[in-house]
Amino acid sequence: MIEIHKLHKDFGALKVLKGVDLSIKEGEVVSILGGSGSGKSTMMRCINGLEEITSGKIIVDNFDVSNKNDLQEVRKRCSTVFQQFDLYPHLSVLDNITLAPISVLAKSKEEANNKAMELLKSVALEDKESVYPAQLSGGQKQRIGICRALAMSPNYLLLDEVTSSLDPEMTAEVLEILKVLASQGITMISVTHEIEFAREISDRIVFLDDGKILKDLPKDEFFSDVGGKSDPRIAKFLSKMGNQ
């Protein structure tokens, strides 16, 4: 379980997160929606300790993100896929996927390779094991990014706008993979602008506005008129995303 209590995050004088309370149970698929600059990425980065929090608490499976001794345990449990792929350009696809399992989880090369090949097969890229990221399309890079995150067998998969840099065709191929994962019961926290995708896969929708949670509702309630759309800020966001 991920528990966020009264989370505040400032960058100097800029207050970005202003008291976020959120808990995510294992097996839940939660989509984080909200306008640009509302603090979605900052919140995701706080969850796995990429940003030091200003105040409040984040607990991941009983490990405290702010406790230096707990941080590695937190990071083992949470794997993140980012918008900009962030694959290591000098490493082959296979080495990109096996680096952390070997160095952080102390897996043998053989075990890590076997798992990597299994993951590559699941995203139909098993023929790409020895190529370098520059030789891949954006959609392929992102599928490799997902394999790299899953290679750590994380309890929580954190996705931050993973399709925002992709054209519609590549977006569709990546979303397809995420839909399968969501249906297999992985816990997923996904920041996305793909409203239809969020509607399809999520158990819950959390809407962040100006560093605060404006709504945290079961998916159906959020998308019904009584729920999400009744708030003008949410209505505006949804209509901007083409989902009036």
Ligand X SMILES: Nc1ncnc2c1ncn2[C@@H]1O[C@H](COP(=O)(O)OP(=O)(O)O)[C@@H](O)[C@H]1O
Q: To the nearest whole angstrom, how small is the minimum distance from the Cβ of residue 34 to ligand X?
A: 6
Residue 135: Cβ within 10 Å count: 12
Please give the structure tokens belonging to residue 188: 């997923």
Q: To the nearest whole angstrom, how small is the minimum distance from the Cβ of residue 75 to Mg ion?
A: 20
Q: To the nearest whole angstrom, how small is the minimum distance from the Cβ of residue 93 to ligand X?
A: 28
Q: To the nearest whole angstrom, how small is the minimum distance from the Cβ of residue 160 to ligand X?
A: 7
Choose between 41 and 79: whose C-beta lies nearer to Mg ion: 41
Choose between 56 and 173: whose C-beta lies nearer to ligand X: 56
88 binds, options Mg ion, ligand X, none, Cβ within 5 to 8 A by partner type: none
Q: To the nearest whole angstrom, how small is the minimum distance from the Cβ of residue 14 to ligand X?
A: 6
If we measure between CA atoms, which residue out of 216, 202, 186 comes closest to residue 26?
A: 186
Residue from 38, 41, 48, 190 binding Mg ion (CB under 5 A): 41
Of 40-48, 60-68, 134-142, 204-212, the segment contacting Mg ion by CB under 5 A is: 40-48
> With b meaning 16 or more CB within 10 Å and e meaning fewer, what string describes 156-195?
bbbbbbbbebbeeebbebbbebbeebbeeebbbbbbbbbb
Of 14-22, 32-40, 124-132, 179-187, the segment contacting Mg ion by CB under 5 A is: 32-40
Phi/psi for 9 (5° steps) reads: -140, 120
- Sheet harboring 212-218: ordered strands across? 78-81, 156-160, 187-191, 29-33, 204-209, 212-218
- What is the binding site for ligand X (CB under 6 A)? 11, 14, 16, 34, 36-42
Phi/psi for 87 (5° steps) reads: -75, 155
Binding footprint of Mg ion on the chain (CB under 5 A): 40-41
